[in-house]
Structure 1
Amino acid sequence: MTFTGIEILKATSSQPTAALVFLHGTGSSGLECKTNFMKFLGAHGHKYIDIYLPTARERYLKIQDKVTTFWFDAVRTGSDNMDVEGSTKDADEVSAKLEEIVSKIEATGIPRERIAIGGMSQGGMVSVYAAYVRGIKVGAVVSISASFPFHNNSKFLPKPTVPLLSIYGQQDAFIMPRVMDAVWKLFRMNKIPFTPKSLVKSGHPLDANYAKIMFEWLEKRFALEEEDGY
């Protein structure tokens, strides 16, 4: 089982018209992310986007040598910051579970082109994998504080069309700026239609600036013809 449960932050509207499946980073949980989003959104949900927040199961993570919550196992293959390889077996399992969640949301009446997947750190990394390696059909992808440790053991699908928002904080203590430069170069080489955002004062954890940029970007993708009453 990839995750242990799903928290849901319902939209303030009685009829949500879009959804976001957001995966937490290593050591965190869906509940922690939900609490943060409630703080960033003023203790309320988004006006028309339902937010689904799974929690990864707890197990032993090799790269950190401890038991914690995480989406895929990873090992260090060298001394350089880029020398990390993520488990594609785990990433395939998470991708399958994401497809299940997206399908269930779609069954509620929200079309796939109005459903986004994404997350923090490992959550963002595996969301990129799910969309551009495994080919999950969604309307958008968000990757925050996330590199791409599958670059040596996976291959992007050709002709990607799903838009991606990749947000990075220059104070990130885990992912160096040159690593993100290399990741963005990789995205460009594979013609992923992505928007890079680099924030001077943000670090690795989810903060209000990351959330603000993410929701503003999603609102442009999922804009309603008439937002009165939302």
Structure 2
Amino acid sequence: MAATRRLQICAVSPTGKHTASVIFLHGSGDTGQGLRAWVREVLVPDLAFNQIRVIYPTAPARPYTPMRGAPSTVWFDRRRISPDSPEHLESIDSMCSTLGSIITDEVQAGIPKNRILIGGFSMGGAMALHLACRYHPDVGGVFALSSFLNKGSVAFQNRLKEGLSLPELFQCHGTSDELVLHQWGEDTSELLKKAGMRTAFHSFSGLYHQLSKSEMELLRNWILKKLPPDSP
């Protein structure tokens, strides 16, 4: 089997002892460094913690069908940006394997799986949901900002029948998002609930396809609730 491809990452180290990790995936066409800069611009005093390492990987460039095959830093390919389009499972599953190496690295560094959160913005949130629901259901939680999963996604299938406990989902979406419609995000939340996932869906009035200060403050509070500083 070919070796798993290593991703370029940038990371914000904790100011104290490292006891937990957050993996934050960018949207299509962005980079880990770009998302890191965006977060720092939106959120004061930054998404940084005493005990948590925040990791921003960069997706490798690949031909992207919605851009007529032009290369872009995307986590997986799509036939169309639509919930009705079939998923491109080959590219999704390949990237799940690649991103899994980051989780493995954190575990080998002494971080328990339940002290790792996975999430992302837009396509990054969809990627995080596949990774957490299908491959790493024992992580501490998953978050998705301005994201959706396609109807009929394999992430919705047979979770209860397989006896799997799924991580809690924290989801945010702007009501004015015209690229990834608010309804797509709501539908994803409802379908994940039916699959046995505990979900919390937060709507932000007037927010477009972007991060906001209020959204990021809510996310920071959720992260601290899931990964409290007094945990071992």
Alpha-carbon contact 1:3-1:54 (below 8 Å) kept:
no
Find the residue that maps to 2:118 and give its secondary structure: strand
Q: 1:167 to 1:33 in 2, by over 3 A?
A: same
Identify, as 1 or 2, the structure richer in strand.
Answer: 1
Alpha-carbon contact 2:84-2:151 (below 8 Å) kept:
no
1:199 alignment counterpart: 204
Find the residue that maps to 1:89 and give its secondary structure: helix
Give 1:204 shift: 1.3
Report whether the alignment pairs 1:53 with 2:56.
yes
After superposition, the CA RMSD in angstroms is 2.3
Structure 2: 5+ residue runs without aligned partners? none
Alpha-carbon contact 1:38-1:45 (below 8 Å) kept:
no
1:151-172 Cα distance to aligned partner (Å, 9 max, x none): 3455353343311111111111
Structure-1 separation of matches of 2:139 and 2:18: 17
Give 1:136 shift: 4.6
1:33-44 to 2 correspondences below 5 Å: 33-39=35-41, 40-42=43-45
Runs of 4+ in 1 over 6 A off after TM superposition: none
Give 1:106 shift: 1.4
Alpha-carbon contact 1:3-1:57 (below 8 Å) kept:
no
1:162 alignment counterpart: 167
Q: Identity of paired residues, percent?
A: 22
Structure-2 separation of matches of 1:70 and 1:86: 14
Which of the numbers 182, 185, 209 marks the counterpart of 1:180?
A: 185
* TM-score, normalised by the number of residues in structure 2: 0.86
Structure 1: 5+ residue runs without aligned partners? none
Give 1:137 shift: 2.8
1:112-170 Cα distance to aligned partner (Å, 9 max, x none): 11111111111110111111123453111111110002634553533433111111111
Structure-1 separation of matches of 2:145 and 2:111: 24
Structure-2 separation of matches of 1:3 and 1:206: 27
Give the total of aligned pairs: 223
Q: 1:153 to 1:44 in 2, by over 3 A?
A: closer
Alpha-carbon contact 2:186-2:201 (below 8 Å) kept:
no
Q: 1:153 to 1:195 in 2, by over 3 A?
A: closer
Q: 1:3 to 1:214 in 2, by over 3 A?
A: farther
Give 1:216 shift: 0.7
Which of the numbers 6, 9, 12 marks the counterpart of 2:12?
A: 9
My pick for the range that moved more, 205-214 or 181-190, is: 205-214
2:216 alignment counterpart: 211
* TM-score, normalised by the number of residues in structure 1: 0.87
2:25 alignment counterpart: 23
Alpha-carbon contact 2:146-2:173 (below 8 Å) kept:
yes
Q: 1:136 to 1:161 in 2, by over 3 A?
A: closer
2:71 alignment counterpart: 67
Structure-2 separation of matches of 1:18 and 1:42: 19
1:99 alignment counterpart: 100
Give 1:88 shift: 1.2
Find the residue that maps to 2:86 and give its secondary structure: strand
